[in-house]
Amino acid sequence: MKLNTRRGRYTETVFQFLCLLAIALPLVLLVLLLADVISDTHGRLTWDFLTSYPSRKAERAGILPGLVGSIYLISLTAAMALPIGIGAAVYLEEYDKRGKLAALIELNISNLAGVPSIIYGLLGLELFVRIIGLGSSLLAGACTMTLLVLPIMIMSSREALKTIPQSFREGAYALGATRWQTVRQVVLPLALPGILTGAILSISRAIGEAAPLLVVGALAYITFLPSGLDSPFTVLPIQIFNWVSRPNQSFLENAAAGIVVLMAAMLLLNSFAIILRNRLHKRRYW
Amino acid sequence: MSSNEAAKISVRNLNAWFGEKLVIRDIDIEIPEKQATAIIGPSGCGKSTFIRCCNRMHELVPGARVQGSIQLDEESIYDRSIDPVLLRRRIGMVFQKPNPFPSMSIRDNVLSGLKLTKSGRLKEADSIVENALQQAALWDEVKDRLNDPGIGLSGGQQQRLCIARALAVEPEVLLMDEPCSALDPVATARIEDLIHGLKDDYTIVIVTHNMQQAARVSDRTAFFLMGELVEYRGTKRMFTTPKDKRTEDYITGKFG
């Protein structure tokens, strides 16, 4: 047999090339998109843009209420969704692993993760805005967003818990630890980086959502910052949506600048998640 | 067992299942106090399941079930009034694969049982750490780096760390589930030496698939086959003059 020809070699090269193409395509598109958007801003992206309120005059308009609103909304959402999501995942994974109830809940959660976000908006409108009577407030928006991110957060937290080998749980039980002591002191510390990575990714999805918040009643034109949980609010995507829908060309420049701000916020959150994940891998000993 | 030896654990009609599968059946056995008892048998004969019934770890597996009675010092451990969590503080366990907690230092691993359960004995933490590591014959190797991660030790050292961790809780019984199967011969010899010393203070039950190991470390040996207890005698007699044909075939290497 000759050693210098191998039948699989050609196929391998082609396959490698196709994979490279698959990774290059989205990257190139993303760079093009970013470049296009940045060139559309025509220098609108200044410090003043970040610190001004919207205005009827495009050149004086800024994104401050949207930016602050987004930050408030996401922080509130995280504060509500994290404990509920982690709690639900711990229950499903550590307490009721093979129960009938868990199986039913699991099925529903994976279905919920696929429900379009506008449906959550309708639910939020009915439940939080009308029945509970929160009105079109920051809190109602955050509650709606919490519902939206919870299924993904629960699923990713469960995955993180699943990666912790059973032998550590057994080691703790064998020392006379209760289930709660085992979860609290052995399992959660090991799973936390993974849980947080999933949580940040699901929250960074929420930061780009406009549809459910429009339904809940976030305002598009707002000249003040939210003063409390019951205050009206707006967010970046809604502000952008509003500018895009104006006929005046200079508002489109504002929209482009807004998009850059939104992208920057998302990339910031995602890179934070990547840093956390890398730390997880460094600490992974098993 | 002769009448002057007290039984630490006595088992009557023990059956255990995984789901529908009966993995051990009708086990009767008396395990003497402060001796080492070896459980031998081929893979899948139920020996690990048996010792996991003794500290009620078996029931943690979803679908697992136990029937029959196990008494620890004449107290029935499957009685409703018994809290399995408290029972496990009296019956320690060492596993097949060393499993020190990866996020903890050597010192914290030794103390982990006390920390997990918020024991008041933590006030004497330093002497507990030294004592447990001495008993596990690990002190001299790690005394200068107690705050290094436990996971940085070699496999054999990790297993001795796990033994120290189990001893720090001050159990009466130490169950060992093939503690040397992941270790090289040198590390294995160290653990075996250790067992010789430990049986002065603890009742030891060691599961092993290695018959030479059973012969070296144990006072009594039980041979399990397909979920049943075939023979249970003093180790020397078991290996020289087995009564049962199946025991003889197994220890002479005809199967297994």
Which long-range CB contacts under 8 A does B194-200 form with residues at least 24 apart? Answer: B194/B136, B194/B137, B194/B160, B194/B163, B195/B36, B196/B36, B197/B135, B197/B137, B198/B135, B198/B167, B198/B174, B199/B34, B199/B35, B199/B36, B200/B34
Residue B74 has pLDDT above 90, yes or no: no
pLDDT-derived band at A285 (thresholds 50, 70, 90) equals low
Residue B180 has pLDDT above 90, yes or no: yes
Q: For residue B176, which residues of chain A lie inside 8 Å, CB to CB?
A: none
Provide the residue range defining the domain that includes A251.
48-281
B195 touches A: beta carbon within 8 Å: no
Kindly state whether residues A148 and A17 are assigned to the same domain. Answer: no
* Model ipTM over 0.95: no
Q: Tell me the per-residue pLDDT of B22-40, one tens digit each, with 9 for 90 and over.
A: 999 999 999 999 999 999 9
What is the chain A residue with the closest CA to B87? Answer: A176
CA distance B149 to B106: 6
For residue A55, the tally of other CB atoms under 10 A from its CB is: 13
Asked if residue B250 lies in contact with residue B42, where contact means CB atoms within 8 angstroms, the answer is yes
Kindly state whether residues A12 and A90 are assigned to the same domain. Answer: no
Residue B207 has pLDDT above 80, yes or no: yes
Answer whether residue A205 is part of any domain: yes
pLDDT-derived band at A6 (thresholds 50, 70, 90) equals low
| Residue A31, CB-side half-sphere exposure with 13 Å CA sphere | 5
The average pLDDT across B78-96 equals 94
Q: Tell me the per-residue pLDDT of B165-176, one tens digit each, with 9 for 90 and over.
A: 999 999 999 999
What does the longest C-alpha to C-alpha distance in chain B come to?
55
B92 touches A: beta carbon within 8 Å: yes
A175 touches B: beta carbon within 8 Å: yes
Number of domain units in chain A: 2
B112 touches A: beta carbon within 8 Å: yes
For residue A282, the tally of other CB atoms under 10 A from its CB is: 9
Kindly state whether residues A36 and A73 are assigned to the same domain. Answer: no
Q: For residue A186, which residues of chain B lie inside 8 Å, CB to CB?
A: 101, 116
Question: Between A171, A176, A186, which is nearest B89 by CB?
Answer: A176
What is the chain B residue with the closest CA to A280? Answer: B103
What is the chain B residue with the closest CA to A184? Answer: B116
CB contact under 8 Å between B60 and A286, yes or no, is no
- CB neighbour list of residue A139: distance below 8 Å, 6 or more residues apart: A76, A128, A229, A230
The average pLDDT across B217-234 equals 95
Which long-range CB contacts under 8 A does B25-31 form with residues at least 24 apart? Answer: B25/B227, B25/B228, B26/B68, B26/B228, B27/B68, B27/B228, B27/B229, B28/B229, B29/B222, B29/B229, B29/B232, B30/B1, B31/B7, B31/B203, B31/B205, B31/B220
Kindly state whether residues A189 and A222 are assigned to the same domain. Answer: yes
pLDDT at B152: 92
Candidates B101, B118, B165, partner chain A, best to mutate (most A CBs within 10 A) = B101
Percent of chain B with pLDDT over 90: 85
Kindly state whether residues A35 and A61 are assigned to the same domain. Answer: no
Burial (CB < 10 A; 0-12, 13-18, 19+), residue B43, is exposed
What is the chain B residue with the closest CA to A166? Answer: B99
Answer whether residue A216 is part of any domain: yes
Q: Tell me the per-residue pLDDT of A150-165, one tens digit each, with 9 for 90 and over.
A: 999 999 999 999 999 9
pLDDT-derived band at B3 (thresholds 50, 70, 90) equals very low
Kindly state whether residues A23 and A55 are assigned to the same domain. Answer: no
Candidates B18, B58, B103, B106, partner chain A, best to mutate (most A CBs within 10 A) = B103
CB contact under 8 Å between B57 and A286, yes or no, is no
CB contact under 8 Å between A185 and B117, yes or no, is no
Kindly state whether residues A171 and A232 are assigned to the same domain. Answer: yes
Kindly state whether residues A36 and A130 are assigned to the same domain. Answer: no
pLDDT at A106: 86
CB contact under 8 Å between B116 and A181, yes or no, is yes
Q: Tell me the per-residue pLDDT of A48-106, one tens digit each, with 9 for 90 and over.
A: 888 888 888 878 888 899 999 999 999 999 999 999 999 999 999 988 877 788 888 88
Q: For residue A182, which residues of chain B lie inside 8 Å, CB to CB?
A: 116
For residue A142, the tally of other CB atoms under 10 A from its CB is: 27
CA distance A283 to B111: 21
What's the token pair of residue B50? Answer: 């048996």
Q: Tell me the per-residue pLDDT of B96-149, one tens digit each, with 9 for 90 and over.
A: 999 999 989 999 999 999 999 888 888 889 999 999 999 999 999 999 999 999
Q: Tell me the per-residue pLDDT of A119-148, one tens digit each, with 9 for 90 and over.
A: 999 999 999 999 998 888 999 999 999 999
Question: Between A174, A182, A185, which is nearest B55 by CB?
Answer: A174
Kindly state whether residues A81 and A143 are assigned to the same domain. Answer: yes
Q: What percent helix, strand, coil does chain A show, rounded to 5?
A: 75, 0, 25
CA distance A168 to B136: 20
Which CATH number belongs to the domain containing residue A83 in this structure? 1.10.3720.10
Model-level pTM? 0.83
In this predicted structure, which of A172-186, A212-226, B114-128, B193-207 has the lowest mean pLDDT?
A212-226
Answer whether residue A286 is part of any domain: no
Residue B187 has pLDDT above 70, yes or no: yes
The average pLDDT across A182-203 equals 90
Distance to chain A for B150, nearest Cα, Å:
11
Q: For residue B97, which residues of chain A lie inside 8 Å, CB to CB?
A: 167
Answer whether residue A77 is part of any domain: yes
CB contact under 8 Å between A176 and B162, yes or no, is no
Residue A1 has pLDDT above 70, yes or no: no
B93 touches A: beta carbon within 8 Å: yes
For residue B217, the tally of other CB atoms under 10 A from its CB is: 26
Residue A28 has pLDDT above 90, yes or no: yes
Return the DSSP state at B60. G
Q: For residue A167, which residues of chain B lie inside 8 Å, CB to CB?
A: 95, 97, 99
Please name the helix (run of DSSP H) or strand (run of DSSP E) that holds residue A101, with its range, or none. helix A100-112
pLDDT-derived band at A279 (thresholds 50, 70, 90) equals confident
What is the chain A residue with the closest CA to B88? Answer: A176
CA distance A252 to A240: 9
Residue type, A268: L
Kindly state whether residues A14 and A102 are assigned to the same domain. Answer: no
CA distance B49 to B66: 10
CB contact under 8 Å between B57 and A175, yes or no, is no
For B33-186, list the strands marked E by DSSP: 36-40, 64-72, 75-76, 91-94, 173-177
Superfamily of B7-97+173-251 according to CATH: P-loop containing nucleotide triphosphate hydrolases (3.40.50.300)
Residue A2 has pLDDT above 70, yes or no: no
A-B C-beta contacts closer than 8 Å:
76
User: In degrees, to the nearest 5, what angle opens at C-alpha A273 toward C-alphas A272 and A276?
Assistant: 90
A98 touches B: beta carbon within 8 Å: yes
What's the token pair of residue A145? Answer: 């967003």
Q: How far is CA A136 from the centre of its chain?
A: 22
pLDDT at B127: 94
Percent of chain B with pLDDT over 70: 98
pLDDT at A281: 66
Distance to chain B for A105, nearest Cα, Å:
18
Q: For residue B117, which residues of chain A lie inside 8 Å, CB to CB?
A: 175-178, 181
Alpha-carbon distances of A225 from A57, A64, A266, rounded to whole Å? 19, 8, 21
pLDDT at A249: 83
